[in-house]
């Protein structure tokens, strides 16, 4: 068999269902072999960058390895942002890049790039395979690295002659099985004792609690402590739980800030957060000041990175919290049951971003997942939109790649086809990766793309205005009718220019298409986005 076939047989045996990317000469052996493997569907995108975001989202919501492929040279460099994003989010994505034939390496061959060092700093493992007999072993090694320990992306460069070379039939190994990492029973007993003795405190949770929302809520109810989330963790704790105190960090809430800055909680229990800039309001020292800090994370490199940690707990979050909750219960703590306290903001009649988002959320089902792009609207989403079911928001504040939510919506749909998904993006992001609406159309994916079109780079505009008291005229653009673009591409679309036009009938008509639809919101909102302390930071920066 060809070496490429052995690799694909291994991926099939491991349950891989999709490969995201774009065919090209340097990877054509891989795509050719897919004719004979109907279990794996190639998702052919319009840009490799978008393919990488789809692969990241699919890995996140399928809880499995995702695979992405690009050509040698520009295809490989187009995947770099997605690989860096996967590294930040600890997502197991296997990135394949094509490479020129081994005998032509270093001879300025067409689209030649030594991709291995390019990916070294943004993956857990990067290798160029130069012998066909080594290819399967290297892919197996890469997959094991991607799935073990702290999950993350890996990269394998495949010279085209290596893909095509015949190899003897090889035994196809099974995929590795991830084993939970949890502290010892004594360590967890000590943690439980500390939580009880300190009496008061806050649970400060990040995106690492994905899949462990129930355990976080149970812990809060055992301790009767408020839950504060980072912006990246929006979507995991329902807003209507009485112990939810809001979001701290970028676009966060005043009450959460009051608790951190002036509250009397003696303990800060950080769960699944690396305590980065957006999560900590520019590394606010009040977070841990005069508090006993416990931090639970599966990545021990986050301990003592910026804040001194008194008790680090290296653990996968869901099994670690289950173990801790059982320990607390065995030590006499009983869980207080809380009834949801749902109080929605009452929108005004003003046609602004906040009211548009409220109107959308009143129409869309509570199970809908929102993939949120990067722009001024993101601050309104973080601050104002409500979470009623866990796992319903995907906000990529960490790496912050414009356009990532467009591919993210497609990856989410493939991972959970029964869950409705809505991408909230802006015109700037749409002009980067908006043509992926065609990918959604070609694969009949029921995704609603909501494009807030203000004909400018809104976040940049506000940032410049706050920081420099002026904004270059070129940050604004000539308005473009995005709905008309979508219509020309054969994608159902509607353009809204007034809040009263945003009706349930209109939105549900777009949602009930056989494939994707585009809802363009033509709106210039000159209000300063609710960025919290970020506004003060930008306003005073450089003074």
Sheet containing 369-372: give its strands across.
393-395, 369-372, 421-426, 447-453, 517-522, 493-496
Q: Specify the pLDDT at position 110.
A: 85
Residues present in the chain in total:
543
Q: Specify the pLDDT at position 539.
A: 45
d(CA 488, CA 223): 57
Task: Read off the tokens for 430.
Answer: 């749409």
DSSP bridge partners of 154: 94, 125
Q: Specify the pLDDT at position 537.
A: 46
Q: Specify the pLDDT at position 533.
A: 59
d(CA 124, CA 137): 17
d(CA 343, CA 74): 50
Q: Specify the pLDDT at position 473.
A: 72
The answer to whether the CB of 52 falls within 8 A of the CB of 83 is yes
d(CA 395, CA 370): 8
Q: Specify the pLDDT at position 532.
A: 61
Taken in order of first residue, the domains within the chain and their CATH numbers are: 3-164 (3.40.50.970), 185-330 (3.40.50.1220), 353-540 (3.40.50.970)
Q: Specify the pLDDT at position 340.
A: 86
Residues of the chain predicted below pLDDT 50: 535, 537-543
For 338, residues 6+ apart whose C-beta sits below 8 A from its C-beta are: 221, 241, 242, 243
Does residue 66 sit in helix, strand or coil?
strand
Q: Specify the pLDDT at position 464.
A: 57
* Strand locations in 373-446 (E): 393-395, 421-426
d(CA 221, CA 334): 8
Q: Specify the pLDDT at position 463.
A: 64
The answer to whether the CB of 468 falls within 8 A of the CB of 478 is no
Q: Specify the pLDDT at position 540.
A: 45
* Strand locations in 351-456 (E): 369-372, 393-395, 421-426, 447-453
Q: Specify the pLDDT at position 543.
A: 46
Q: Specify the pLDDT at position 531.
A: 75
Q: What percent of the chain shows pLDDT beyond 70?
A: 94
d(CA 508, CA 48): 31
Q: 246: alpha, beta or left, given left = phi > 0 and alpha = psi -120 to 50? A: left
d(CA 536, CA 47): 37
Does residue 205 sit in helix, strand or coil?
strand
Q: Specify the pLDDT at position 461.
A: 57
């Amino acid at each position: 068999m060809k070496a490429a076939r052995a690799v694909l047989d291994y991926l099939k045996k491991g349950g891989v269902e999709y490969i995201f990317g774009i065919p090209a000469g340097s990877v054509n052996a891989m795509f050719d072999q897919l004719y004979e493997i109907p279990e794996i569907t190639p998702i052919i995108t319009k840009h490799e960058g978008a393919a990488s975001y789809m692969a990241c989202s699919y890995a996140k919501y399928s809880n499995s390895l995702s695979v992405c492929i690009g050509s040698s040279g520009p295809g490989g460099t187009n995947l770099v942002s997605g690989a860096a994003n996967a590294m930040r989010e600890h997502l197991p994505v296997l990135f394949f890049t094509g490479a020129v034939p081994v005998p032509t390496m270093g001879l300025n061959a067409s689209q030649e790039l030594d991709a291995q060092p390019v990916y070294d700093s943004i993956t857990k493992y990067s290798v160029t395979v130069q012998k066909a007999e080594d290819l399967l072993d290297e892919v197996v090694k890469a997959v094991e690295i991607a799935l073990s320990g702290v999950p993350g992306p890996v990269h394998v460069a495949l010279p085209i002659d290596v893909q095509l070379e015949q190899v003897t039939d090889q035994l196809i190994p099974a995929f590795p099985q991830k084993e939970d990492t949890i502290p010892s029973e004594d360590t967890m007993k000590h943690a439980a004792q500390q939580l009880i003795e300190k009496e008061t405190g806050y649970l400060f949770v990040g995106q690492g609690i994905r899949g462990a929302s129930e355990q976080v809520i149970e812990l809060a109810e055992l301790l009767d402590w408020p839950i504060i989330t980072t912006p990246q963790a929006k979507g995991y704790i329902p807003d209507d739980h009485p112990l939810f105190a809001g979001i701290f960090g970028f676009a966060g809430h005043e009450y959460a800030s009051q608790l951190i800055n002036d509250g009397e909680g003696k303990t800060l229990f950080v769960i699944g957060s690396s305590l980065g800039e957006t999560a900590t309001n520019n590394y606010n020292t009040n977070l841990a000041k005069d508090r006993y800090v416990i931090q639970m994370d599966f990545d021990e490199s986050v301990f003592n990175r910026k804040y001194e940690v008194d008790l680090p707990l290296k653990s996968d979050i869901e099994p670690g919290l289950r173990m801790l909750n059982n320990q607390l219960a065995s030590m006499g703590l009983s869980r207080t049951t809380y009834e949801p306290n749902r109080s929605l903001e009452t929108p005004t009649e003003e046609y602004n971003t906040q009211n548009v988002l409220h109107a959308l959320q009143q129409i869309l089902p509570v199970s809908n997942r929102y993939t949120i792009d990067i722009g001024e609207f993101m601050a309104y989403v973080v601050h104002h939109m409500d979470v009623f079911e866990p796992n319903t928001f995907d906000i990529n504040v960490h790496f912050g790649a414009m356009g990532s939510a467009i591919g993210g919506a497609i990856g989410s749909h493939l991972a959970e086809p029964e869950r409705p998904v809505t991408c909230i993006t802006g015109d700037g992001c749409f002009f980067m990766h908006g043509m992926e609406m065609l990918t959604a159309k070609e694969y009949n994916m029921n995704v609603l793309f909501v494009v807030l079109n203000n004909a400018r780079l809104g976040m940049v505009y506000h940032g410049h205005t706050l920081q420099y008291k002026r904004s270059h005229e070129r940050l604004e653009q000539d308005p473009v009718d995005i709905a008309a673009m979508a219509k020309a591409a054969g994608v159902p679309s509607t353009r809204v220019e007034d809040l009263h036009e945003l009706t349930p009938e209109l939105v549900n008509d777009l949602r009930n298409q056989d494939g994707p639809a585009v809802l363009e919101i033509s709106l210039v909102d000159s209000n300063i986005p609710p960025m919290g302390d970020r506004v003060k930071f930008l306003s005073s920066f450089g003074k």
